Amino acid sequence: MIITEQKDFSDILKMLERQKRVFIVGCAQCATLCKTGGEPEVLHMKQRLEDAGLEVTGWVVLDPACHVLGDKRAFRKQREEIEIADSILVLACGNGVQAVGEALNRAAIPGIDTLFLGDIVRANEFQQRCTMCGECILDKTGGVCPVARCGKHLLNGPCGGSQDGKCETNPDEPCIWEIIVERLKADGNLEALEEVTPPKDWSKATDSGPKRLVIDR
């Protein structure tokens, strides 16, 4: 899922400077699980904005926010509340903010920061696992991802800074290559460490440029 975190309220107020009326949009999926854009957060945001002297014309929690057509349909029921609003504040990931903007054909404002694609490892704790490189290699790395979880995206790790199972870039994180080595060892396949993994095709990766996918079924 997409992991998000609420922006500082003062930053949100700055974005809403010189605005009087705000319509709030939340998301029933990832942002709800991250407690950034579910109904309780939307209502809490409404309260805080009102306390700060703004008028909240209405709110909705979309399911999900990142669905342009679905958003259009949902917004029909609240056309007026949306039209009188000076700003649309979206408590959903960056996709959601843009889908809402596209559905309404006007700029929407992000109330939360989109951090990473992650797993829920326990209640209230999320960890990054995949950076959407476009060509999954988990079959070769013992099922754990060095692209996302090695500080240097090494395909031929571990680097020289790996020590005591910790990553040199962040002692709070494990060296993912140590885990890969453990798994290879458990499979009796340590020789795999001697094969050179060739350069990766980063043109497939998520941040290499605009992407779209059309499926024909």
**Contacting positions for another protein (CB under 8 A):** 151-166, 168-170, 175, 177-178, 181-182, 185, 190-191, 193-199, 202
* Closer of 66 and 133 to ligand SF4 (Cβ): 133
Q: Which of 84, 4, 72, 79 shows the shortest CA–CA distance to 37?
A: 4
Bridge partners for 170 per DSSP: 167
* Closer of 47 and 169 to ligand SF4 (Cβ): 169
DSSP E strand stretches across 148-187: 166-167, 170-174
Decide: is 206 part of the binding site for ligand SF4 (CB under 6 A). no
Tokens of 62: 């979309």
Total residue length of the chain: 217
Tell me which of 4, 104, 158, 181 binds ligand SF4, using CB under 6 A. Answer: 158
Decide: is 200 part of the binding site for ligand SF4 (CB under 6 A). no
Strands 87-91 and 55-62: unpaired
Give the range of 7-15, 66-74, 124-132, 190-198 binding ligand SF4 by CB under 6 A.
124-132
Query: Using CB distances below 5 to 8 A depending on partner kind, what does residue 164 bind out of ligand SF4, another protein, none?
Result: another protein
Query: Using CB distances below 5 to 8 A depending on partner kind, what does residue 86 bind out of ligand SF4, another protein, none?
Result: none
For residues 157 and 150, the answer to whether their CB atoms sit within 8 Å is: yes
217 half-sphere exposure, CB direction, 13 A CA radius: 0
* Closer of 34 and 176 to another protein (Cβ): 176
